[in-house]
Structure 1
Amino acid sequence: MRKNLLISAIVVPTLLATAALAQSAGGVNSLRGAAVDETVPVEDVFHQDENRFTRNYRQQPPLVPHSIAQYQIDLKANRCLSCHDWTNAGDRNAPTLSMTHYQDREGNQLDVVAGTRWFCTQCHVPQADAPALVDNTFEASN
C-alpha cells in the first residue's frame, strides 16, 4: 500500500508537468490545417446521378439512383421497403424487388422479404459519378 502511494506521488506530478509543458510549447497542428472548432469547406468529390447506370456484369445488383443518407435499416425497420416492397412499389412508382428477395434459403416463397435479404446495403449502393481512386482496367461483360 505504501509503495503504491509513493509511486502515485511521483507519477501524477510528472504527468501534470509533462502536459503543461506540451501545452506551453504550442506547435501542435491539426492534420487538416485548421483549428478544431473552425468550419472547413469541402469540395464535392462526386454528385448523385439521377440517370440509371448500366450493369457491368451478369447478376450485378442494381445501383440505387437516389441518396439513402438518412435511411434507417436495422433489425426492426427497413426504409427501402416503404417504396420497393411488392405491396408499395406500384403506388410509389418504384421498381419492385426481385422475387429472389422473397425466398428463404430452401427456396420457399415468402410473403415478406427474407431475413437473408433484409439489409439492402450489403449488395446495393448509391450510384455516383465519382473519379476512380486507383487505376482500373475493368471492362464490362457483353
Structure 2
Amino acid sequence: MKTLTRVSAAALMSLSLASAFSVSAEVIPADKIATLREAPLNVEPTPPAMQKVINSDVKEVRNYPMQPPVIPHKIDGYQVNLKVNKCMSCHDRSRTGESQAPMVSVTHYMDRENNFLATLSPRRYFCTQCHVPQLDAKILVPNEFVDMDQLMKADSNKKAH
C-alpha cells in the first residue's frame, strides 16, 4: 500500500509540473522568445560557412586577471595528443629564442603542490582546454562585460563629482 501511495504522489507531482510548464509556455508568444536558432527544430539547415581564424600574431589584451591568453594564430592541423604537442615546438622555454614565441607560463611547469618540474605538467599539456584561437566573426550575443579598470575609473569619477 505504501508503494502505491508513493507512486500516486509522484504521478500527481509530475502531472502538476507538466501542466505548470505547459501553461507558462503558452503565455509567451513564439516570436518573443530570444534564440539564436535560425530554423525550426524539425528542419536541418545548411550550416553557415566556417569563420576565418585571426592570424595576426598580435598579442590580445586580456579582459580579466588570470584569463588564459588567446591564440593569435591558426592552429589547423596542430597535433596535440599523448605523444606530441605541436604548441611546445615554439612555446617551450627551450625553443622561444629561435621561435620568438612567448614562453608558456611557469605555472605550466608546476605540479599540484607547486613544485617545479623539468617538463610541462601533464595537467597543462592539452593547450586548447584553456587557450583558443580567435575568429573573425560577427558577435551573436551583445557583450556587456566591464573590466576592472573601467569599473574603477567609473567609481572614481562618481566620487569626484
Shorter chain as denominator, the TM-score bin is 0.5 to 0.7
Q: How many angstroms does 1:103 deviate by?
A: 0.3
TM-score w.r.t. structure 1 length?
0.66
CA distance in 1, matches of 2:82, 2:52: 31
| Equivalent of residue 48 in structure 1, options 41, 50, 54 | 54
* Amino-acid identity (%): 45
CA distance in 1, matches of 2:111, 2:49: 44
- Residues 64 and 148 in structure 2, CA contact (< 8 A), matched pair in contact too: yes
Question: CA 1:44 to 1:31, structure 2 compared with 1: closer, same or farther past 3 Å?
Answer: closer
| Equivalent of residue 62 in structure 1, options 41, 48, 69 | 69
TM-score w.r.t. structure 2 length?
0.59
Which contiguous aligned blocks of 4+ residues in structure 1 show a shift greater than 6 angstroms?
none
**Largest Rg, 1 or 2:** 1
Equivalent residue for 2:99? 92
Equivalent residue for 1:130? 137
Equivalent residue for 1:15? none
- Give 1:1-142 correspondences, 5 Å limit: 31-32=45-46, 45-50=51-56, 51-142=58-149
Give structure 2 stretches of 5+ with no counterpart. 1-42, 150-161
SS of residue in 2 equivalent to 1:121 = helix
SS of residue in 1 equivalent to 2:89 = helix
SS of residue in 2 equivalent to 1:52 = coil
Give structure 1 stretches of 5+ with no counterpart. 1-28, 33-41
Q: What code does the residue aligned with 1:67 have?
A: K
Higher helix share: 2
Q: Deviations over 1:79-98 (max 9, x none)?
A: 00000000111111110111
**Superposition RMSD on alpha carbons, in Å?**
2.2
- Residues 46 and 131 in structure 1, CA contact (< 8 A), matched pair in contact too: no
CA distance in 2, matches of 1:30, 1:99: 46
CA distance in 1, matches of 2:146, 2:55: 21
Q: How many angstroms does 1:131 deviate by?
A: 1.7
Equivalent residue for 2:13? none
CA distance in 1, matches of 2:82, 2:62: 29
